[in-house]
Amino acid sequence: MYFVQKLKISHLFQSGDIFIPIPLFWQYNLPMFGKIIQSGSEAVLSFLYPRLCLSCGDGLSLKNEVLCIGCLYKIPKTDYHLHFDNPVTERLMGRFHFQTAAACYLFTKGGHTQSLIHALKYEGKKEIATGIGENYGKKLMASDFYRNIDCIVPVPMHRSKERIRGFNQAEVFAKGLSVSMNKPIFTSALKKIRKTGSQTARNRFGRLENVSEVYKAGKNAGQLEHKHILLVDDVLTTGATLEACAIELAAIEGLQISIATIALAAY
């Protein structure tokens, strides 16, 4: 005997409902039946579209990974989020007031971190920033320095450049952090009012001059009063961009600022 059950099979079909005849045995086991359908569809998709490591291109074994085990081992990770005295806080010390600062990875020329950042920014692989954000957010929440964060503020990108790239990598990183930290994102707290040239070839003072008076408080900056924010960016080199953003936000009453970036680069 069969009965007809209406099911939504979103993993196999783009949209629409289908009707599948299901044996009476499954009438009282629909949750189990749904899991079988879902796991089967995921297996088909994995076979047709294998998930690959975003650094080396090898296959991935776990659903939420963005890097294979080999690259996870090789990429230079930090434990800066566990210590106030670290290379990130040393680089920013004395330039603006902040609570703490950390970076997830070390950025070296020609290294695995550079490959990831390049794929993120120039190949449109947003899942890199999302995945790193989710994983790093868990570590930050386990640190005494970051547990009382109220919200996340990404460094803004000029709207013309964001239209060309299609996304702001700092904001995508913030979204990953938001998932694991369970904190809201304030994307309109800051705005970039003037387009600037690349910072890559500039020294510290050239970078600071390049971003001077570029960032302004946005329409919902007032909502940050008496909050502890996590100001985030992709790569910290001289810290000029984060400094310019923090100085602009410093006028907000009772605001506390902490910093997190995907990587720390040498300069």
Q: What value does the mean pLDDT take over residues 164-179?
A: 96
| Residue 184: inside a domain | yes
Closest among 13, 15, 32 to 23, alpha carbons compared: 32
155 secondary structure, DSSP code: P
Question: Which residue did the predictor score with more confidence, 66 or 110?
Answer: 110
Helix (H, G, I), strand (E, B) or coil at 262: strand
Residue 186 near residue 224 (C-beta atoms within 8 A):
yes
pLDDT the model gives residue 14 = 44
Helix, strand, coil content of the chain in percent (nearest 5) = 40, 20, 40
- Flag the least confident range among 19-28, 51-60, 67-76, 105-114: 19-28
| Residue 56: inside a domain | no
Closest among 242, 244, 246 to 262, alpha carbons compared: 242
Q: What value does the mean pLDDT take over residues 32-49?
A: 51
| Residue 30: inside a domain | yes
Asked whether residue 114 falls in the same domain as residue 239, the answer is yes
Closest among 63, 211, 30, 221 to 134, alpha carbons compared: 63
| Residue 54: inside a domain | no
Asked whether residue 100 falls in the same domain as residue 164, the answer is yes
- At residue 3 the predicted structure's pLDDT band, cuts being 50, 70 and 90, is very low
Whether residue 21 has pLDDT greater than 60: no
| Residue 68: inside a domain | no
What tens digit of pLDDT does each residue of 179-214 get?
999 999 999 999 998 877 655 555 555 555 556 678
pLDDT the model gives residue 197 = 60
What tens digit of pLDDT does each residue of 212-253 get?
678 999 988 999 999 999 999 999 999 999 999 999 999 999
pLDDT the model gives residue 74 = 85
> Domain boundary at 48, 68, 86, which?
48
What tens digit of pLDDT does each residue of 144-160 get?
999 999 999 999 999 99
Asked whether residue 80 falls in the same domain as residue 44, the answer is no
| Residue 103: inside a domain | yes
Asked whether residue 25 falls in the same domain as residue 104, the answer is no
Positive or negative: CA dihedral 121, 184, 245, 95: negative
CATH number of the domain where residue 259 is located: 3.40.50
What's the domain range around 7?
Answer: 2-48
Asked whether residue 43 falls in the same domain as residue 92, the answer is no
Asked whether residue 124 falls in the same domain as residue 196, the answer is yes
Cα(19)–Cα(16) distance, rounded to whole angstroms?
10
What tens digit of pLDDT does each residue of 105-143 get?
999 998 889 989 999 999 999 999 999 999 999 999 999
In total, how many domains does the chain have?
2
